[in-house]
Structure 1
């Protein structure tokens, strides 16, 4: 067995790999842009601010988010029940389906908060300007996190 010495230094190979990965990512982005007949720009700061607002709403209104999860879980279970014709077949796989529906409900429960967070972020951008949107989102997210920690500690002390 012979050992072949590399013809290029290791640093150059590493940069070539990173460049190739960047080219693949750019090609995928270009393919995504070619899907639509128009161009749209997604600002990273806006996406981050909407995410922070959504997290703040999700934490600040956690009883509402729990209610949304419960309602979505009920609806998923009801909708899936209509797909089965046999009661025996339905009962056989009930536990697995209900846990899967609970997972999907927890994933989809963020959608109303994302929409509301986007609207609130848009309102902050209109009123205070674009530079304040991310800052206010961070402040509100920190405040909602502290509120949720205090709320849970209060519930723990009561029980």
Structure 2
């Protein structure tokens, strides 16, 4: 009885995961995602690593940033890392991450990343900022939700050449108007 319930739970979880996740990139292919509105930030990041492909697939969801009023300017950074090197990127001046772009190289089995930041024209600033722990272990799946009232300001990632994978952590902040 217990093994039947456990089997049904595992099957339901796998089916739910397959239905709800809509990968924004394929293995070894570019990733180009941005929220549909400039006044939205990425609030959920889902990622899965495959050891055969030595790559990650990503899915993102966005939500409105209620504290942002008035016009917003968004721009895409240049590439913030070399292959096999750390990522450390922060949005300035009350900005938040609204999109992510990357491409994969099979020789390095890694990705280079660019981030789209949106910054309100009217003066806003970050407060109550903190860094998450690592949201994933090597070669693993993760599903990170930004807490309500917060946005992702910064991304930190490290690469391991033996595992050919990355770990991620995020700086999350509240945004308030001056």
TM-score bracket relative to the smaller structure: under 0.3
TM-score normalised by structure 1 residue count: 0.27
- For the pair shown, the structure with the greater C-alpha radius of gyration is 1
TM-score normalised by structure 2 residue count: 0.25
Flag the structure with higher helix content. Answer: 1
Flag the structure with higher strand content. Answer: 2
